[in-house]
Amino acid sequence: MSGLEFLLAGTLAASLPLLLAALGEMVVEKTGLLNLGLEGMMAIGAAIAFICVFHTGSHMLGFAAAALISTVVAMLFAILVIGVKANEVAAGLAIGVLGLGLSALFGKSYESRTISGLPKIDIPILSDIPLIGPTLLTQDIVVWLAVLGTIVLWWVLNRTKLGLIIAAVGENADAARSIGYPVVLIRLCAVAFGGAMCGLAGAYASTVYTPLWADGMIAGRGWIALALVVFGTWQTGRVAFGALLFGILSLGELTAQAMGVGLPSQMLSSLPYLVTILMLVVISRRRSGLI
């Protein structure tokens, strides 16, 4: 398999955990909150999904359990921030650490165990297209659902009343309350959605992308997802593009190592983060130029 084919085949799957977590967080931030606990919520979701699939063999059950547990953790955040008005940065970091700790605890006895991933779907005609057919267009079911989900989310946020309400709550909660919208309920739902998406992201990482349990397997992807929301300026399409870019970069790192590019691996590993910083600089410069 050439480097290009490798990239085409793997990018979507590599991007997926980032995409799901970032889209979830984007919705949370659109309602005016900031949940920094992505890494932890992904980790606990990954652990629960792995355990579930390990014992039952059902990926669907794994995804459902992961979404559920991460929603529960996210609700803890909601109680702290919306309920007792705790500082959201502190609360977010706390539940992040909690999630990481719980995932290590639950995953302890599954260290280095493996399970089977999900089969790639051969779609007739599409998979016959040269080059991209067997690579880009041959993906597992979750990838296709995620693509569909991204489009639906874009549509909801940009074309429906619900999207408008979410934007309104995030921009001016007092005004939204004064015209009669249940701000607390909307934010609760957003936080729950963000949690569930992180759970799904973690589940994909541990049961499909690399179906093997290792402690700390989320490896900072929660933080990258958080940066992606800013990078994508809270717009679905741009966040998705950012996730793809990072998917490519993380695969490019592997490809370059495999091809024996004469660069230290640490340098290649830091590439995605350097690109984040670069992109943030570009975005902020362009924005200040407009005003």
Taken in order 282, 242, 42, 54, the sign of the CA dihedral is negative
Total number of residues binding another protein (CB under 8 A)? 17
Q: Is 288 in the site for another protein (CB under 8 A)?
A: no
User: Is 177 one of the binding residues for another protein (CB under 8 A)?
Assistant: yes
* Nearest alpha carbon to residue 155 among 11, 61, 23: 23
Angle between helices 3-30 and 141-159 (to 10 degrees): 40
User: Using the rule CB under 8 A, is 180 a contact of another protein?
Assistant: yes
Member of 36, 48, 157, 168 binding another protein (CB under 8 A):
168
Q: Which of 2, 172, 233, 265 binds another protein (CB under 8 A)?
A: 172
Non-local (6+) Cβ contacts of 186 within 8 A are 31, 165, 166, 169
**Using rule CB under 8 A, residue 85 touches another protein:** no
Q: By CB under 8 A, name the one of 112, 124, 125, 179 that touches another protein.
A: 179
By the rule CB under 8 A, 175 interacts with another protein: yes
Interface region with another protein, contact rule CB under 8 A, candidates 62-70, 128-136, 157-165, 256-264? 157-165
Beta carbon of residue 171, minimum distance to another protein (angstroms, whole number):
5
DSSP 8-state class, residue 259: T
**CA torsion 21→22→23→28, rounded to 10°?**
90
Q: Of 130-138, 167-175, 256-264, 267-275, which part binds another protein (CB under 8 A)? A: 167-175
Rounded Cα gap, residues 91 and 74, in angstroms: 10
Looking at 16-24, 93-101, 169-177, 273-281, which segment touches another protein (CB under 8 A)?
A: 169-177
- Given a contact cutoff of 8 angstroms between Cβ atoms, the answer to whether 269 and 249 are in contact is no
DSSP assignment letter at 235: -
Q: According to CB under 8 A, which one of 109, 125, 161, 259 is a site residue for another protein?
A: 161
Check binding of 287 to another protein (CB under 8 A).
no
How far is it, in rounded angstroms, from Cα 238 to Cα 231? 8
* Residue 7 near residue 255 (C-beta atoms within 8 A): yes
Q: What Rg do the C-alpha atoms of the chain give, in angstroms?
A: 19
Beta carbons of 142 and 208 less than 8 angstroms apart: yes
Residues 35-54, mask of contacts with another protein (x by CB under 8 A): --------------------
Where does this chain touch another protein (CB under 8 A) — which range of 53-61, 68-76, 164-172, 248-256? 164-172
| Selected binder of another protein within 171, 216, 233, 261 (CB under 8 A) | 171
- Residue ranges binding another protein (CB under 8 A): 161, 164-165, 167-168, 171-172, 174-181, 290-291
